[in-house]
Amino acid sequence: MDPDWDAIGYVISSKYRIAVCERLEGGPSTPTEIADRKGMSITHVSRALRNLEERSLVELLVPDDQRKQRIYDLTERGSGVWGDILRTGLVETEAIRADPTDGQ
């Protein structure tokens, strides 16, 4: 299947969307956990999650009316897009920054 270049471009055009996808690659998480782990404001994380959800790249795993402990994860489409981003080397992830010799 060809990469979804529209979605890829959308994700990589924001450091916040990149950070959210990178964190969710490791499994479901709450906005607070993402913000704490990535050192970002909860406002930026929430906006990125909302934007990614509108494009069907992430999904809310708890009922929509639940206001606390909202848990998000990548959708199948989101996982595919994130995988394409990693395969094409379009972003530098935490794992690459932690070990710059990885893959050389």
Number of domains into which the chain is organized: 1
39: left (phi over 0), alpha (psi -120 to 50) or beta: left
Q: Is residue 77 in some structural domain?
A: yes
Question: What's the pLDDT tens digit per position in 62-91?
Answer: 998 888 899 999 999 999 999 999 999 988
Give the whole-number percent of the chain exceeding pLDDT 70: 88
Read off the pLDDT band of 94 (50, 70, 90).
Answer: low
Q: Is residue 104 in some structural domain?
A: no
Q: Is residue 101 in some structural domain?
A: no
Q: What is the pLDDT of residue 102?
A: 39
For the domain that residue 65 is a member of, what is the CATH number? 1.10.10.10
Domain that includes residue 68, residue range: 5-90
